[in-house]
Chains A and B, each alone.
Chain A
Amino acid sequence: MEKDQHTHIVKYKTYLYVLIALLIMTFISVAVTGIDLGPYTVTAALLLASFKSILVLLIFMHLKFDKKFYGIMVASVFLLLACVIVITFMDYLYR
């Protein structure tokens, strides 16, 4: 079964396209901060960062081509961290 794992070769072109997408998103997020969107500035920057990290995880880190179980683990870890932050803010938001 491991044979399938490693016979999947990602093409150079795919990586190049992903890089271009990542760079475009970087420049958008830099440009967005120039415009004053109020509280949405942070939201926009973080949203773009999330998209970028999803691209890195899926393509560069091969989650898209690996067994599903890796993707599930990664998602759970991010979910865990999110839950911890939310619960921590139960304190700070209402103090």
Chain B
Amino acid sequence: MSETVNQHTEVSYLEYKGRFKGLFAWIFSTDHKRIGLLYLYSMLVLFSVAALLGLAMKIELIAPGKTIMDAQTYNSFFTLHGITMIFLIVVPGLPAVFGNFFLPIMIGAKDVAFPKLNLLSWWIYIIGAFIALSAQFLGDGAPDTGWTFYAPYSFRTGTNMLPAVTGAFVLGFSSIATGINFIVTVHRMRAPGMTWMKMPLFPWALYGTSWIQVLATPIVGVTLLMIVLERTMQIGFFDPALGGDPILYQHLFWIYSHPAVYIMILPAMGVISEIIPTFARKTIFGYKAIVVSTLAIAFVGYFVWGHHMFTSGMSGTALYTFSILTFFVAIPSAIKIFNWVATLHKASIDIQTPFLWALCFLFVFMVGGLSGMVLGALSTNVHLHDTAFVVAHFHFIVFGGTGYAFFGAIHYWYPKMFGKMYDKSWANIGLAIFFTGFNTLYLPMFYLGMTGMPRRYYDYVDEFHGPNIVSSLGALLMISGLIIIITNLVRSAKYGAPAEADPWQGKTLEWTVASPPSLENFEKIPTVTKHPYGYE
């Protein structure tokens, strides 16, 4: 039986208005656009909570000794901050929000391949979030292991680990469901004429990401399951007292969690690859190189997990192998940077808020990437392992990379998603404050790490006081920037001026439909003949 989307005569299967009203029309909707927005709203709430936890930690660190919380509270704060930010925001972030909303539109489809599975993935996400967060309030106290749940502490600690680990396990299913959905959507539902090499780069990035989601998440799933079994049935997988090897836990955990970094960063790179040609009014430089490097990152990124474990006591051979592979994976990332910069060369650039976000992304991503090289080298890693340097590095990559791309994406696609334009000057002011705050917050942490301040302590010696004050003030500045940005976006959804279909003169398919898109996106499925960024 051939693939068919029959002409609709009566009610469309996407039609939700007939069946449910109000809130139910959203939470039971199988429309990819509504599901994308549901994810956006859920994440906004969770992100605010996790960001405030981060702020509280920085305020604690403004002075040595106990400032506003004791050690155990601090431990549970960085654990919850990590779990929420990683498992609930940056891993699902870009694919679940913008992938859901724009993947079908950008490839000229009416929906994703499995709309019901898509809705299910949001429900699993919400259930997983509740389970993970319930760990904070139930039982014997909030988890204090950090988001990595390292064995053997994760089954020795008396705190309430089970819900946290189970929640992360459940969230994996949501991630896998989205991954399966996107891969099949890209394979089966591209508009006629859209060959693989005519597909825009954001869908390409989502495609690479989906493969990692599908192939890496089960490994962490089973690892977390082993932790659950360990805690409940004393099986002894990772308990040295029972013959297990705690380092094997680290292997299994990072076999997922390193590729997870690429789940976070690949779609971010995809977003930047959309924003830059639109505002440069130029075809992206080296389209094929970007596609190939996307797939190369997805592939090589699978084999570098060991660089998180350089001081764990692995064999020397493993150390060299992982270090070399880590340097390999930097190559495709650098290729992308050169492509973006080359696209800007001699372009007549239209400077708008999304473009500024993309520029800031380039800066912070390079700082993050280069500091990653420092950590990827064996000798320097030993010196910097588990210091504030690592915290600065991954916030530059994860928050600087994915976070900036997320805000860039929302400023880029906001008129399409909500049909309104935000206040551009407030958006720029917010960005300026945020960017200043961000660098004031994290740059001193590189210095602190190099001079020896360990991570994950609520206290420090007096020598570290100065940079910590700067860093904490940066946190306050950054949060105020965030408040301006988010308030502006929320306000504009109501009061903003109506947006045109193509406010940025973009060339990809989402700009050919109305803002916001109609229920079925396209009246008639378009036929694609041109390259996605056909400006010349």
**Direct contact between A and B in the complex (CB less than 8 angstroms)?**
yes
Write the residues of chain A forming the contact surface with B, with a CB cutoff of 8 angstroms. 1-3, 6, 77, 80, 83-84, 87-88, 90-95
Q: Is the C-beta of B27 less than 8 angstroms from some C-beta in chain A?
A: no
Which residues of A sit under 8 angstroms from B247, Cβ to Cβ? Answer: 91
Q: Which 6 pairs show the lowest CB-CB distances between chains A and B? A: A94-B315, A91-B318, A94-B317, A95-B315, A90-B318, A91-B314
**A1, B317: Cα distance in complex, Å:** 50
Q: Which residues of B from 229 to 271 have beta carbons under 8 Å from A?
A: 247, 251, 255
What is the size category of the interface that chain B forms with chain A?
A: 10 to 19
A2 neighbours in B (Cβ, 8 Å): 1-3
Give bound CA distance, A91 to B314, whole Å.
Answer: 6
Rounded to whole angstroms, the CA-CA distance of A77 and B317 in the bound complex is 25
CB pair A95–B314 under 8 Å, yes or no, is: yes
Q: A2 — nearest CB in chain B belongs to which residue? A: B2
- Is B321 close to A, CB under 8 A? yes
Q: B315: which A residues are within 8 A, CB to CB?
A: 90-95
Q: Is B316 an interface residue (CB 8 A)?
A: yes
Q: How far is the CB of B485 from chain A (nearest CB, A)?
A: 40
Within 8 A of A (CB), among B272-324: 302-303, 306, 313-318, 321-322
Minimum CB distance partner of A6 in chain B: B1
Residues of chain A within 8 A of B2, CB atoms compared: 1-3
Q: Are A87 and B321 in contact (CB under 8 A)?
A: yes
Task: Decide yes or no: A90 and B317 within 8 Å by CB, A6-B1, A84-B255 being known contacts.
Answer: yes
Q: Contacts A94-B315, A95-B314: A80 and B251 contacting too (C-beta < 8 A)? A: no
A92 to B3 Cα, complex, angstroms: 49
Cβ of A45 to closest chain B Cβ, rounded Å: 23
Contact indicator B318/A77 (Cβ below 8 Å): no
Chain B's nearest CB lies how many Å from the CB of A87?
Answer: 6
Interface status of B71 (Cβ within 8 A of chain A): no
Are A80 and B314 also in contact (CB < 8 A) when A2-B1, A6-B1, A88-B251 are? no
A93 to B306, CA, bound (A): 15
Min CB distance A41 to B, Å, is 23
Measured in the bound complex, the distance between the Cα atoms of B322 and A94 in whole Å is 14
Q: B490 in the interface, Cβ–Cβ < 8 Å?
A: no
Compute how far the CA of A80 lies from the CA of B1 in the bound complex, rounded to whole angstroms.
33
Complex Cα gap A1–B1 (Å): 9
Question: Quick check: is B215 within 8 A (CB to CB) of the other chain?
Answer: yes
Q: Which residue of A lies closest to B255 (CB)?
A: A84
Extra contacts besides A84-B303, A91-B317 (8): CB < 8 Å: A2-B2, A3-B2, A77-B215, A84-B302, A91-B247, A91-B306, A93-B317, A95-B318
Contacts of B303 in A (CB 8 A): 83-84, 87
Q: List 21 A-B contacts (CB under 8 A).
A: A1-B2, A2-B3, A3-B1, A3-B2, A6-B1, A77-B215, A84-B303, A87-B318, A87-B321, A87-B322, A88-B255, A90-B321, A91-B251, A91-B306, A91-B317, A91-B318, A92-B315, A93-B315, A94-B316, A95-B315, A95-B318
